[in-house]
Amino acid sequence: MRRGLALFLLCSLASAAHAQDRIVEVRLTPTARAQIAIWAETTDGTFLRTLRLTEATARRGIGNRPGALQMNSGFHWPYGRREGVLPVWAHRRQTAQLAFRRVIFQDRASEGYASRTSNDASPDSYFCLSFNQGTTSRDALDAVTCASQFNSDKGRYATDDDEARGYAEPFEMEGGAAMEMRRLDTESLYPPRRDVGTLGTYDHPDVAAFNADARAAMPEIDAVTMATLAGDEARSIQLALPGDWPAGDYVLYVEVNVEGDYNDAYDPERFPTPTLGENLHWDFWARTYGYPYRGQPSVVYAVPIRLDSTGGTFTTRDPVGYGSVHGEDGTLRTMDASISNDPTTTPGSGADRLRLMGDSRVQVDVVPTAVCSGPNPPPQCFAECDATRPCDDGFLCEANQCVGLCDVAAAPAATDDLEIELDEERSWNWAHVSFTAPETLRPLQRYELRVSYEPFEPGMAFGSWGVEAKIASLEDEALVVPTTARPGELVEVALGHLQPQTRYYVGLRAVDGCGGASEPVVREIVTTEIIFTTVSPCFVATAAYGTPMASEIGALRRFRDRHLRNHVLGAALVGLYYEVGPHAADVVRGDGELRAVVRSLLSPAVELTKWLAD
């Protein structure tokens, strides 16, 4: 009688609890700047739902923006539709959802023009266009920033009239052998950019509709958008699958792509910078700056999983196929020798864009849910327990009875002592976040730290509000808040990629391994205006090389940001250098012989930093 009553109560609880969503964790280790899509299908190939999509595609609109598909790329390059970024996901999604509306330049002589031919631009807070060959190469991606405020053409929707009159883009054959004008229709596989705030004087009215139209075509887009993952760092992505999905077999797909991933089969000789047509179709800037980004196409991993109350671990090592370079179709091409798949000779390339973790590249853990309310509960269910009689692993003691870890509606405590303080030296774009780790019944899976221009209101879905927080660094990567602190211990992280003189709302919640989430806590901050000091903090190196844009300085900056600043001793050395560096630079700057000596002394350090980056 007692067991039957407990089962009845637990079933009632399970039907209403968020913890009864089907929870899965996807574990992977991507390379830097990887664009990723994760989605679910039935075993017969029916597309079910997009589960995650990286921000450049989901929010920045790199797949659907002004500029010809083949236009070069570079650091935060603003133009060129990257329709080959995640083509398998994009085509399969469109079998189940609406298409997006295609975006083109407002009024330029060609979709191949990087420079404007009319007043069409407004300030851009993210993308930039450097007309400096030294900073727009593939090797400079880790060493540059947007030097000054850039004004971009956000574009407009292509219309039926554009299509009727044969509006087209320049397109060159492989190897630059010939060129044709490819007609463009009014639909796109990808969302437009959704990060534009107030319209500028020369922005087209269509820009104001980009966000709402994207949500109409793909209602879940805000909830599935994730920031770019840090390169070569293992990540666990928790997904809550709908509780009404029947138990049974499914397939989780992971598509990954990286621009400029060259090998012998896909390189700048096969897909060079387009030049045919001279100034008629490709302007001087498009033919001269940036780098030919078309390397190996996307690769796709498939992980068959089974959803049931017992859970399980499912893995895969090799991709099941690869996509099209230009995104012309969603065909999954059979893996062959043209795609690199040997991490010993091509680390981080081709299949190794997701690094090997033991013997797998993607691992999916299905978390056991409704263990004791399922049809065949294990014998541990409802065993008597107390402080002296603990439950087995995977179970917890609730009302003196053992139940499955995820069978109880529970959530971590709220982080009510959350504090956000602007960084003293970079108060216009960095802030410090601190709080004490909360009490939790179950182990924490992650902290969700999100940033928004709008306040968080009751009834909002926190996972769809604002955007994921970014690290305080040049890299545009997700900020991961460590979960190793025990309840009551202080947690501190640095928040970056804020805009000057802007009001932000920063929210935090803790999420446990069963998907139980604490109540969000939100704080408000206002960044300051930019405090201009010196062009580059690499004082001595800048004086020695004569310019802050030298590639050697870029390598040293990269070493500082990626290695020194991430450690206590390294950060202390950087701080000491900032104190003495300006004085040493004054001595070096005016002495040609001394500059040469310093360059010689720095050369081994530069070579070491370049080697560490490879």
The whole-number pLDDT of residue 614 equals 58
CB 444 within 8 A of CB 489: no
> What are the φ/ψ torsions at residue 36 (nearest 5 degrees)?
-135, 140
User: For 457-497, how does the pLDDT look when each residue is reduced to its tens digit (9 = 90+)?
Assistant: 999 999 999 999 999 987 889 999 999 999 999 999 999 99
Q: How far is Cα 29 from Cα 356, in angstroms, rounded to an integer?
A: 8
The whole-number pLDDT of residue 16 equals 36
Residues with pLDDT less than 70, the chain: 1-20, 143-144, 532-593, 595, 599, 606, 609-614
**Can you tell me whether residue 524 is helix, strand or coil?**
strand
Contacts 24+ apart (CB under 8 A), 161-166: 162/104, 162/186
The whole-number pLDDT of residue 370 equals 83
Q: What angle do CA 341, 344, 347 make, to 5 degrees?
A: 65
The whole-number pLDDT of residue 59 equals 97
Point out which residues pair with 386 in neighbouring strands: 389
CB 300 within 8 A of CB 325: no
CB 192 within 8 A of CB 65: yes
Q: What angle do CA 447, 449, 455 make, to 5 degrees?
A: 135
Residue 388, C-beta contacts closer than 8 angstroms, at least 6 positions apart: none
CB 144 within 8 A of CB 75: yes
Pick from 467, 35, 27, 498: nearest CA to 261: 35
Please count the other Cβ atoms lying within 10 Å of the Cβ belonging to residue 203. Answer: 21
* CA-only gyration radius of the chain, Å: 26
Q: How far is Cα 186 from Cα 170, in angstroms, rounded to an integer?
A: 17
The whole-number pLDDT of residue 374 equals 75
- Is the CATH number of domain 419-526 2.60.40.10? yes
List the end-to-end C-alpha distance of the chain, in Å, as a whole number: 66
The whole-number pLDDT of residue 579 equals 59
Pick from 109, 255, 117: nearest CA to 189: 255
What are the sequence ranges of the domains in the chain? 2-14+369-404, 34-158+188-232+243-365, 419-526, 539-613
CB 101 within 8 A of CB 186: yes
* Burial bucket for residue 258 (CB in 10 Å: 0-12, 13-18, 19+): buried
- Which tokens sit at 315? 């893995």
Please count the other Cβ atoms lying within 10 Å of the Cβ belonging to residue 164. Answer: 8
CB 506 within 8 A of CB 402: no
**Can you tell me whether residue 350 is helix, strand or coil?**
helix
Residue 523, C-beta contacts closer than 8 angstroms, at least 6 positions apart: 418, 419, 420, 505, 506, 507
pTM of the model: 0.84
CA dihedral of residues 70, 343, 315, 514 (deg, nearest 10): -80
